[in-house]
Every structure is written in structure tokens, then in C-alpha cells.
Amino acid sequence: MKRLAITFAALLAALPATAQDANDTTAGELIAKFAAEAGITPDAEVGKAFFLATQTGGGADTPSCSTCHTADPKAMGEARTGKPIEPMALSVNPKRFTDTAFVDKWFGRNCDSVLGRECTAAEKANVLAYYSSL
């Protein structure tokens, strides 16, 4: 048990560096990948509606993506802890969506918080198309 805890701590310590250094993808590549997986043509308007929608299934204090990211993806957001979140819109924050592991990690956490489930490939393609369209 103790050994497991140490390994986990080491993994956590390694995470931020990995997340910042990876730069292994682009928003365009991710949109294409998720759209192919879902068999859809990405639609920024559908992504916008998803981003702004009030959802059920997740935590009562996180009903929407916009709860933390605000209704304007070009603006700064704020996590539950009060920690600032850089804007999501690619036009004002070009560093967005360049690290596959980081994107997967946060889709995992955030979709669970808001929807109580994974986001579908279609939801991911559409919301990334929205962030990239602004």
C-alpha cells in the first residue's frame, strides 16, 4: 500500500511537465480524429449549444461546461477551487489542444463532472470545432 502511494505521487509529480511538453497534436487533428470516430461532420454550432447547455447527470454544482469556462470561451474561466482557467478559444489561446494526454484527461474529468459520463466522440469533435471557430 505504501509503495503504491509513492508510485502514485511520483506519477502526479511528473504530470505537469508531460502535459506542457508534449505538443503532439493540433486542434485540427483532434477534431478530425473524433469526427472520424463518430462518423460525423463537425459542427461548431452544435458544439456551442453543447458547451452552453445545462446538463443533468453530473454534480449539482457543475451543470454546464460554462460553469467553469464561462459562457465566453475567449474569456478567463475559474475552477471550483477559484484557480483561474486560461481561455478555451484557440484564437486567443493558441496553446490549446496540442497535447493528446492533457485533452483526454480533462475531457474525462469535465464530462464526468457535468454529464456523469464520458463525452461521446461527436460531442468532443463539435465542442473542439466551436473553440476553434471563434
Amino acid type, 26? T
Residue 51: CB atoms within 10 A of its CB come to 20
User: Considering only residues 101-130, where is the footprint of ligand HEC by CB under 6 A?
Assistant: 102-103, 106-107, 110-111, 113-114, 127
Rama region for 82: left / alpha / beta (φ>0; ψ in -120 to 50; rest): left
Q: How far apart are CB 68 and ligand HEC at their closest, in Å?
A: 3
Question: Can you give the length of the chain in residues?
Answer: 134
Minimum gap (Å) between residue 99 Cβ and ligand HEC: 6
Residue entry with cell 463525452: 119
Residues 64-93 contacting ligand HEC, CB under 6 A: 65, 67-69, 79-80, 85-86
All 3 cell numbers of residue 85? 482557467
Instruction: Give residues in contact with ligand HEC (CB under 6 A).
Output: 62, 65, 67-69, 79-80, 85-86, 96-97, 102-103, 106-107, 110-111, 113-114, 127
